[in-house]
Amino acid sequence: MKKILFLALAVLLINTSTSWAWGTTGHRVVAEIAERNLTRKAKKNLKKIIGDQKLAYWSNWPDFIKSDPTWKHADAWHYVNVGTSLTPTDFTKEMNETTADNLYKKTLSLIEELKDKDLSLEKKQVNLYFLIHLIGDAHQPLHVGRAEDLGGNRIGVEWFGQKTNLHTLWDSKLVDFTQYSYTEFSTVLNIHDKKFNNRLSEGELVTWLYESYTAAQHIYDTAKADDKLSYKYYFDHQKDLEDQLLKGGLRLAKILNEIYG
């Protein structure tokens, strides 16, 4: 009886566990593309903060520390929840009016703090790890999803016969399906000239979040609970996935070049 109870509890825990981030590869791709687009000066200044280590190395740290209860307050920094069918103006208004320490507000304050040269080295490092990570999350469309389904976490689907949910599919399953390492994925995405890259990184955080929001609406519109997804789904969404990773990387580079360049 005890065993059955334990099993039932384990199943419950597995089913209710939610994920809130690009998987490890997705975050590393964003960080690596950013690293490859840094100015010489930004690279030099970043070296003073994180030494020779790659940005990709730190990109998943904010997810790993979720296991540390003293960081519990940071869980809400990884996403924003917004209403449906918002125009760009309404969306911006909602973002600016929120008092929650969410992805939007936290990222803005991290950037402001990092511009302060008197910030302690430890604080610079922690802020930087979060910034690298959160710009990645800002480009995973379902981190700008609906509150009622926890950004797709509550929409169960099948991926090649395995039970998963829409959020996890976008965090990691689609990225992993490509079978690229993070450096290979960065190499195939980071192929454009400066003019193209500049165009892609136009705008500011709120406009980038609105793009993710729009992409999330498309994701909600093209899959429903219990759908059996496989090759066709990847084929239909490949461009969106690649665009979001590339944009995340180039925009992170833009922010870092502005702070450190």
Residues that bind Zn ion (CB under 5 A): 21, 78, 137
CB of 137 to Zn ion, least distance (A): 4
Smaller CB distance to Zn ion: residue 77 or 233? 77
CA distance 212 to 242: 13
SS3 assignment for 49-116: HHCCCCHHHHCCHHHHHHHCHHHHHHHHHHCCCCCCCCCHHHHHHHHHHCCCCCHHHHHHHHHHHHCC
> Minimum Å distance from CB 170 to Zn ion?
12
Q: Distance (Å, rounded) from C-alpha 1 to C-alpha 91?
A: 51
Query: Of 130 and 210, which has the nearer Cβ to Zn ion?
Result: 130
* 30 vs 38, beta carbon nearer Zn ion: 30
Closest residue to Zn ion, based on beta-carbon distance: 21
Name which of 37 and 60 has its Cβ closer to Zn ion. 60
Q: How far is the CB of 133 from Zn ion (least distance, A)?
A: 6
Q: Which is nearer to Zn ion, 197 or 212 (CB)?
A: 212
Q: How far is the CB of 226 from Zn ion (least distance, A)?
A: 27
Report the nearest approach of Zn ion to the CB of residue 131 (Å): 12
Query: In the complex, what is the shortest distance from the CB of residue 124 to Zn ion, in angstroms, rounded to a whole number?
Result: 20
Residue 199: how many other CB atoms lie within 10 Å:
10
Nearer to Zn ion, 132 or 155 (CB): 132
Neighbours of 153 (CB within 10 A): 19
